[in-house]
Amino acid sequence: MMSVAASAAATFMLVQSFARHYLPHEVSAFIDVKLKNLIARFCNELTLLIEEYDDGLNQNKLFKAAKLYLEPKIPPYVKRIKLNLAKKETNVSLSLEKNEEIVDVFNGVQLKWKFESKPDPEREVHNNQNYLVKSNITFFALRFHKKHKDTVLRTYIPHILKKSKELSKKKKTLKLFTLFPYRGDTEIWQSVNLDHPATFDTLAMDFDMKKMIMDDLERFLKRKEFYKRVGKAWKRGYLLYGPPGTGKSSLIAAMANYINFDVYDLELSSVEGNKDLRQILIATENKSILVVEDIDCCLEMQDRLAKAKAAIPDLYRSACNQGNRFQVTLSGLLNFIDGLWSSCGDERIIIFTTNHKDRLDPALLRPGRMDVHIHMSYCTPCGFKMLASNYLGITEHPLFLEVEELIEKVEVTPADVAEQLMRDEVPKIALSGLIQFLQIKKRETGESKAKEAEETARGAENIQELSEKTDEVETQ
């Protein structure tokens, strides 16, 4: 049988060689295909090709998943391994070099992976020197016994996608994106690594509030099918409001670290109009948090410019020519929350921050736009204990009781408390300094209230005197 097989293979090779040299190209290509099909009938191995690009432009998601999946499975016997450190990344990635092969076993099925490439005649171009530059198609060749075809397609491929998603989440370096100042033909967003250390364990916030936020985030991530079933975009809106220094930025960083989402920091004052806003938002990725800080200030600026345009058109045009071209309207902002941007992708979170919630238009606050309103209050005894644990490494101290009593009577932000605790590493000295700071704040608050009461009383007296004089005049 071996002799017959060898003889048949030699005959096929001879016929193929003869066809290529002495027959027209179309005929030889036809014979070549028929011979390969004939040989394939006697071969028990099936090969699946996973190309890097599905249409020449977009990267094949399965190729990327396979690359991630195979990285931890590269065995010691492989002689050539490619190392890569992507721009602005900290983790080195490993991948197979061309023509290297590894074996994977899944549910008792042996699968052979090989990284290969082949010329692509359709993508040959001429460079500036008019030289022909050949382009290659890179792909993974997955070979296995053809009787396992259904197992591979229905079970193994989904397994690769699932494992690669888990590996990608572990390797992901969080990014903070800001608008590129000179866009033109460049990318709209520029990024840096988001190394903010804030987590829910370190936030100076009441435990019940932190648990509510974490539960809400987890529920949001698990409800993809629910949003699809009810016909809503898979997005969630948060409004963080409260005085400066209460930890709004730290909460955003903690949320990003908790769900492993990149952060896009959108400065509305640098957006030239509603059209520009849409282009900017379309360029954001899935699994991201879009942050619009101090939304009340942005809308106030828009209102002032709108009034200036109506009152003094020439002055308004002059301001626009000098670079002050802020024209994002409230309707444009609402349209992007409800419309185009919200339906272009999955797992989007938008966070607005403000120091003055009462200044916002009610249309912006309704559910579906801002689903969760989070009040970032002044420091509480619970928040103080968390700060003391973070900065001093203690959970109990004889001075805690005095500090907590003062904090309940004085309005101080977590930032103020943290600043005092950072002044010394010795707990007793740091807490004594904090007590002194709180006592001064309490005294200042008392004096301020007394002054306000005095001014109010004086105003009441003036009103009374004016009323009496008015009565006298009317009597006369």
Between vectors from CA 162 to CA 161 and to CA 167, what angle results, nearest 5°?
A: 95
φ, ψ for residue 353 (rounded to 5)?
Answer: -120, 150
Give the pLDDT confidence score for residue 283 in this predicted structure. Answer: 79
Q: For 3-21, how does the pLDDT look when each residue is reduced to its tens digit (9 = 90+)?
A: 766 676 667 667 667 666 6
Sheet holding 132-145, edge to edge: 45-51, 132-145, 109-126, 101-106
Name 143's bridge partners: 47, 112
For 175-375, CATH gives 3.40.50.300
Instruction: Report the pLDDT averaged over residues 149-160.
Output: 92
467 pLDDT band, cuts 50/70/90, is low
Q: How far apart are CA 332 and CA 335, in angstroms?
A: 5
Using the predicted structure, report yes or no on whether residue 422 has a pLDDT greater than 60: yes
Instruction: Report the pLDDT averaged over residues 93-106.
Output: 83
Query: Considering the entire predicted model, what is its pTM?
Result: 0.65
Using the predicted structure, report yes or no on whether residue 321 has a pLDDT greater than 50: no
Give the pLDDT confidence score for residue 436 in this predicted structure. Answer: 92
Q: For 245-279, how does the pLDDT look when each residue is reduced to its tens digit (9 = 90+)?
A: 888 999 999 999 999 899 999 888 777 777 777 77
Nearest to 429 by CA among 394, 381, 404: 394
Q: For 377-412, how does the pLDDT look when each residue is reduced to its tens digit (9 = 90+)?
A: 899 999 999 999 999 999 999 999 999 999 998 889
Instruction: Report the pLDDT averaged over residues 195-223.
Output: 91
Using the predicted structure, report yes or no on whether residue 464 has a pLDDT greater than 70: no
> Are 73 and 102 contacting, i.e. CB atoms less than 8 angstroms apart?
yes
Q: For 65-87, how does the pLDDT look when each residue is reduced to its tens digit (9 = 90+)?
A: 888 888 888 877 777 777 777 66
Domain locations in the chain as residue ranges: 1-43, 48-168, 175-375, 381-460
> Are 250 and 291 contacting, i.e. CB atoms less than 8 angstroms apart?
no
Q: How far apart are CA 58 and CA 56, in angstroms?
A: 6
Q: For 28-62, how does the pLDDT look when each residue is reduced to its tens digit (9 = 90+)?
A: 667 666 666 666 666 788 889 888 877 655 678 88
Q: What is the largest CA-CA distance in the chain?
A: 137
